[in-house]
Amino acid sequence: MSILISLVKALSQSDPAKVCLITTGGTISSVYDPQTAALRPGLSVTALLESLPKGMGNVEVVQRELFQLDSANAQPHHWLELASAIRDIHEEMPDLNGIVVSHGTDTMAYSAAAVSFMVRDFGRPIVFTGAQIPATVPWSDGPRNLIDAIRVAAFGDIAETCIVFNGEIHRGTRVKKLRVNSYDAFDSMDPTPLGVLARDIILYEGRKKRNNLVPKFDIRINNNVWLLKVFPGLQPQILLKILDMGYQGIVIEGFGAGNIPSEENAIAGAISQAVSQGCFIVISSQCAFGQADLSMYEVGRIAAEAGAMSAYDMTSEAALIKLAWILGRTTEPDQVREMMATDYVGEITFLGQSGYTGA
């Protein structure tokens, strides 16, 4: 069980705090469009803040409107623009206590992972949040999530990119959206969340604390990375078709511990051929909890023997982003393998053999 090591009482904070709110659209900023009879982003950053209870106490909120985007339309260049905006805001206001990014829930895990890798050692919280119901609806979860995100950005002793949602604080590289309609849309995929929000901000051990490190802004990414889910009947030729389309990396979601078919429709041969042509293959697990361990079963070992790398316990979202981030820097095979197995921003918490012997 995690040990509580921080109880931050925002109400007793004597020094004023400054937080920058970057809006990018999403459900939290959506309005009803009578022409399409559907929701679309359209609420300004000012209107979004006006949906909150009046008065922010001793927190100054600086406003930045970046996109009005449904997150289903988010593309890799939007991650680059967001990371660049964070860099520019840091240079303009180095005294910020933290940054909040309002974002659609559909691809929030991808964007949070991308910012985690592209903006490291920021020293303060970068907090993503959003809503399941537009902020203008009386029973919306948006105002609560936004207030919680501002609290964490202003007063939380944390120096990570995270997602604050439904009273929980999740690491940006360890989180998935698991529920479409429920207020608790997100869960941390082992270990537990970084903290929870109640009367106080309660943070757990294992997080990175606020610091004065010099931020690293490494805003490069290689878009030519594919995410492929294995299913019964998958034709192995699809890997070579993906390669023909110019993709340089493929994350394959295997069954269970990263297992792939080894008899009918075996894909190890296609993996070996793709690797020999300079494509980098990473095997993750389709399971929400647990890890890819290519040493456990024969059907996993053949993937490793064909040249695939294990994602270990990285989520598929984090593995995809990490591979794209690495290939933006190098395509030297040994370096790529070393970097994929290196924990940069808490994306890996399990490395090594399962130790299973059949006993």
Q: How far apart are CA 256 and CA 117, in angstroms?
A: 27
Among the residues of 132-224, which ranges form H helices? 142-155
Residues 55-89 have pLDDT tens digits of: 667 899 999 999 999 999 999 999 999 999 999 99
Q: Span 4-217: which CATH code?
A: 3.40.50.1170
At 251, which helix (H) or strand (E)? Answer: strand 249-254
Q: What SS3 class is residue 216?
A: strand
Q: How far is CA 65 from CA 38, 45, 48, 154, 271, in A?
A: 22, 6, 11, 19, 43
149 with 129: CB under 8 angstroms? yes
Helix, strand or coil for residue 188? strand
Q: d(Cα 146, Cα 168) in Å, to the nearest integer?
A: 12
Structure confidence at residue 139 (pLDDT) = 92
In the chain, which segments carry CATH 3.40.50.1170? 4-217
225-340: what CATH class? alpha beta
Q: Where are the alpha helices (DSSP H) in the chain?
A: 45-50, 76-92, 108-118, 142-155, 237-244, 268-276, 298-305, 316-327, 333-340
E-strand stretches of 103-218: 119-120, 126-129, 161-165, 168-171, 175-177, 186-188, 195-197, 201-204, 216-217
Mean predicted confidence (pLDDT) in 281-310:
92
pTM, whole model, 2 decimals? Answer: 0.92
Report the pLDDT averaged over residues 205-222: 95
Per the CB < 8 A criterion, the answer to whether 86 and 126 are in contact is yes
Under a CB-based contact definition with an 8 Å cutoff, are residues 141 and 132 in contact?
A: yes
Annotated catalytic residues are 27, 105-106, 177
DSSP state of 107: T
* Nearest alpha-carbon partner for 62 in 10, 99, 94: 99
Q: How far is CA 189 from CA 50, 112, 117, 317, 336, in A?
A: 34, 14, 18, 11, 24
**pLDDT (mean) for 139-164:** 96
159 secondary structure, DSSP code? -
Cβ-contact 340, 322 below 8 angstroms: yes
How confident is the model over 221-274, as pLDDT tens digits? 999 999 999 999 999 999 999 999 999 999 999 999 999 999 999 999 999 999
More confident residue, 139 or 33: 139
pLDDT in tens, 303-353: 999 999 999 999 999 999 999 999 999 999 999 999 999 999 999 987 654
Q: What's the rounded Cα separation, in Å, for the pair 274 and 244? A: 10
Q: Where does CATH 3.40.50.40 sit in the chain?
A: 225-340
